[in-house]
A and B are shown apart, each in its own frame.
Chain A
Amino acid sequence: MNAFRLVISGVGGQGTLLASRLLAQSAIEAGLPVKIGETYGMAQRGGPVMGHIQIGEGVDSPQMRPAEADALLGFELGEAVRRGITYLRRGGLALVNTRKLPPVEVISGMVEYPSQDSLLSLLKKVTEEVVAFDATALAEEAGDPITTNVVILGALTASGMLPFGEETVVNVLRESLRPAYFEMNRRAFELGKEGYVKALGN
C-alpha cells in the first residue's frame, strides 16, 4: 500500500500543528508509521505554516515533492491555494476553509486580497475535487473559532480517505484534549463531517 500523503496549510495560531499531531497520533494508534514535516519558522508572528504528513510505509524524508499529496487541508483560503497548487496531486482532495486572514500587506493597504473565485479557479487547475466551506463559522457554532482545526479533521474523516476509521480519530481527540474541551471539539468534529457532505452537494 502506498503511503497516504497530506498537506496542511494555514497561518500561525490556527491550530494546524495540533491537527497534524492528532492525525499522527491516530496513525500510531492504528499501528501505522508516520512522519510529519513542519515549516513554521516565525509562525507565531502571523507567518504561513505548512505541515506535510505521510502515513504508511516507504517514506523516509518528511518533506514531499510537488504533486504528491493525496489531500490538502487548507485552514486559510489564500494559504490553501498557495500550497495546494504546489503539492496536491492531480485529482487530489482539497478541503478549503473559505475564511480569510488578511496579512499585513493587505491590512496596510499595499495589496488587495484576491477574490475567492480567482483563488479557487487557480486551485481547480490542479484538481476538480475542491470542497470549500466556512469551517471557522462551523467552529464558532461549536463554541469557539479555535476548534476550526477539529472541524476540518471532521471533514477529512467524512471524505473516507484516511487509512483508519472515525473511531480512531475520536478516541485520540478524547485522550489528547483536556476533558473540559472535549465536548465542544466533538461538536466541531460532527459539524465538520456535516459541512463536508453539504459542501459536496453544492
Chain B
Amino acid sequence: MSSHPVVIDEPGKRVLLMGNEAIVRGAVEAGVDVATAYPGTPSSEIGATFARIAEATGLYFEWSANEKVAFEVAYGASMCNQRSMVAMKHVGLNVALDVLNPVSLRGVKAGLVFISTDDPSQHSSRTEQDNRWLAKQNCVPVLEPSSPQEAKDLTRVGFELSERLGLPVMLRTVTRLSHMRSDVSLGPIEESGREVGFDWEGFSYRVAGFEKLFRRHKERHEKLDRAQAEFEDFEYNELKLKGGERLGIIGVGFSYNYVIDALRKAGLGDDVAYLKLITPHPLPERLVSKLLTSVDRVLVVEEVDPFVELHVKALAKDIAPGLEVMGRMSGHLPREGELSPMLLDGALAGILGTSSETEDRTDLEEESSKLLFDRMLTLCAGCPHRASLYALKKAVQAVKGDLMGVVVNGDIGCYGLAHAPPLNFEDTYFCMGASIGVSQGMAKVGVDTIAWIGDGTFFHAGIPGLINAVVNNTPIKVVVADNEIIAMTGFQPTPQTGRTAMGKPTKRIMIEDIARAAGVEHVEVVDPNDLEAAEAAFRRMLEAEGVAMVIARRLCATEALRAMRPDKPVPYLVDADACTGCKICQNQFGCPALVWDDEAGRARVDSTLCTGCGACVQVCPVGAIRISEVA
C-alpha cells in the first residue's frame, strides 16, 4: 500500500483529500507534535487519520477519554512548547468548555488549534448548535475554511496565528466541508524540532507569581484586538468591490461556495459586490465597513446562526444607518437548518426580483415518496444490541407485566437505534451519559427506569452518574450495551479494548471493575446472543434491590466481520419445510439478514448479509433456522 496522501512529502502535488484529512495534512505541514480527539460525526476522520499516520510521522496521537481530557492533554503539550491539536464534534466542545475558558484566559505557548466540526441540519447530531458563539464567549479567534484546500492551509496558518497571539485558535468546519473531497495541492512539511520545556515564566505560579497569571481578562482582550487587526488584512478574506454595486453579499466560510455558485448561475458575477469572510470572529470591522458603506443592501450568508449578521447590523447602525441588512434574521434565508445552492438561488431571486431557473422537481419527489419507503435506519445484521433488546423486552414483560412498566432512557451511540422498529424499546436519549443521570431523577420520584448506555459512552461520561446513584441510594437499573468498540463513529477503541489509538497494547479497564469499585453490588456480565441467559440476567437486575447493572457484552458484528477478513462467516439458513411463515423473526427481531420470500411465503436468510451469529435460531418458535453446511 502506498503511503497516506496526508504524509506525502511532495510540495505542489495534487491529491484527493477529504476536508477532515486536509486538516490533518495542515497540521502535519505545521509540524504538529501532539494531537488528541474524541470521535463524533462529522469529526471522526480527523482522529482516524492521525491514528493511521502518527507513528510514521513521529507525532503523538490519542483518542482521549472525552473532549475535556483531550483538550487538557493538548494544552499541557502547548505549555511545554509543543504544537498541539484537538478535534471534536460541535457538542464535544460543550464537554471541553470548562477548560477552554482558562486556556484562552491564561494563553498558550506553542500553537494550539482546536477543531469544531459543526453539523447544520443535524445530519448525525442531536443539535445544530453554532460553536462560534462559544468561541466569542471565550475570546477565541475563529477560522472558517471554505474548501479542503483552505482547511489544510488555514490549519497551518492557525498554528502560526495561535503562537503569535498567545491564544488558542478554533478552526470551524461544517459537515459538508468535513465530508467533502476535492483535489488539494500539498505544501511543504515543516520539521517539528521545537525545544521541549515547560514555560515557567508563562505559566508557573511559583516563578511568575500568582497575581501576574491570575487576572488576565484585559490581556485576553488585547490579544483579541491584535487578532482583529491581523484579520483586517488577512489574505484569505477577499473583498470584490468595484464601486457602484447596489447589493453586497457576505459569504462566511463554507457558505461562500453557495454565494459564488448562485452568482455564477444568475450571471451576476459583475453586478454584485461580495466579501468572502474566513474570519467571523473577531470580525474585521474596517474590512466589512468598506462593503457596508458602498452598497444599499447587504445579504449575510452563513451556517447556522446569524452570528456575523448580528454584528453587521450593530456595525451598520453607526457607519451605514440606511443600509438594509438581510440574512437569517430578516427572513431572506431560513432561520435554521443547512443552506444549499437552491436556497441561495431563491434568496437572490427574491432580493433582485428575478426568477430562479432551476427545474422544480417537488411533484415528482412527492410521487416518489408515496411509492417508496423511507429506508429507516436499523441496527446492522448480527448486531448484538438487537439480541440484548429482544431479551430485555422479554424480561421487562415478565417482571413488570407490561413493556410500558419502565421508562427506557437511552444514550448516544448505535444502540440509540433501540427506538427504531421492530424493537421500539427506548423512550429518551439526550447527551453523553445522561441515561444514568435522568434515570435517577425519575427513580427518586418513584418512576421505574432502565438506563441503556453503551461501553464507549459509559467511559466518556457515565461513571460520575453511576457513583452518584450509589452514594445517594438511588436504585437505578443500568444495562451496558457493550459491543467492545466505539462502533458508531468508525470502530475506535474504548479503554476496555486494550489497545491505544496508535495500536500499542495497553491495560484493559473493565466496566464491571469500575462498577464494583463505584459500589454497585449487583453486576453481571452476559453474552446477549445467549438469549435465555441474557433474559434471566435482566430479570435478576430488575428484581434486585439497589443499583444493579448488566453488561451485555459481545463484539460489534461489523467489527467482527472486519477482524475475520479475508475469511467470511458461515451463514445460517431457514429450512423452508419447517418454517411456518409466522414472521416472528422479522416482526419482533428484525435482523436485516432475515428477508421475506414472497413466492414461498417463508422467511429466508440473505447469505451475503448474515454474520453467522446464530441469535435468530433462538427466536424461531419451530426451530426452522440452522447453520448452513460448511463447505
Q: Footprint of B on A, CB under 8 Å? A: 11, 20-21, 24-25, 27-28, 33-42, 44-48, 58-68, 78-79, 81-82, 85-86, 90, 102-111, 113-114, 118-119, 122, 125-126, 145, 175, 178
Can you list 17 A-B pairs with a CB-CB distance of less than 8 A? A28-B14, A28-B15, A33-B182, A37-B179, A40-B179, A44-B558, A46-B375, A47-B377, A65-B340, A78-B375, A81-B372, A85-B367, A86-B361, A86-B364, A86-B365, A105-B376, A108-B590
Given A63-B341, A85-B365, answer yes or no on A48-B421 (Cβ-Cβ < 8 Å): no
Q: Are B182 and A34 in contact (CB under 8 A)?
A: yes
Check A113 against B257 for contact (C-beta < 8 Å). no
Check if A65 sits within 8 Å of B378, measured CB to CB: no
Query: How many angstroms between the C-alpha atoms of A25 and B374 in the bound complex?
Result: 32
How would residues 366 to 387 of chain B score, 1 for a CB under 8 Å from any chain A CB and 0 otherwise?
A: 0110011111111110000000
Whether B373 lies near A48 (C-beta < 8 A) is no
| Complex Cα spacing A39 to B374, Å | 15
Q: Are A62 and B182 in contact (CB under 8 A)?
A: yes
With A66-B342, A108-B421 in contact, do A25 and B586 touch (Cβ < 8 Å)?
A: no
Closest B residue to A36 using CB positions: B181
B592 and A65 within 8 A (CB): no
Once the chains bind, are A107 and B592 in contact (CB under 8 Å)?
Answer: yes
Which residues of chain A are within 8 angstroms of B341 by Cβ–Cβ distance? 61, 63-65
A90 to B359, CA, bound (A): 10
B345, closest chain A residue (CB): A65
Q: Which 7 A-B pairs have the closest CB atoms?
A: A104-B378, A67-B359, A60-B257, A61-B257, A103-B375, A41-B123, A41-B124
B422 touches A66 (CB 8 A): no
Contact flag A108-B422 (CB < 8 Å), given A25-B16, A41-B123, A45-B379: yes
In Å, the complex CA distance between A11 and B583 comes to 24
Q: Quick check: A46 and B378 within 8 Å, CB to CB? A: yes
Determine whether the beta carbon of B368 is less than 8 Å from that of A107: no
Q: Does B318 contact A (CB under 8 A)?
A: no
Bound state CA distance, A18 and B71, in angstroms?
33
Q: How far is the CA of A47 from the CA of B488 in the complex (A)?
A: 13
Query: Are B176 and A63 within 8 A (Cβ)?
Result: yes
- Which partner residue on chain B sits nearest A111 by CB separation? B373
| Alpha-carbon gap, A63 to B14, bound state (A) | 22
Q: Is B594 an interface residue (CB 8 A)?
A: yes
B608 at the interface (CB under 8 A from A): yes
B229 is an interface residue with CB less than 8 A from chain A: no
| Closest-CB distance, B77 to chain A (whole angstroms) | 33
Task: A110 to B264: give the CA distance in the assembly, Å.
Answer: 46
- Please, which residues of chain B bring their CB within 8 A of the CB of A125? 364
B587 in contact with A109 (CB, 8 Å):
yes
Docked CA distance A60–B261 (Å): 6
Are B16 and A103 within 8 A (Cβ)? no
Q: Smallest CB-CB separation from A11: which chain B residue?
A: B375
Q: Which residues of A contact B586 (CB under 8 A)?
A: 107-109
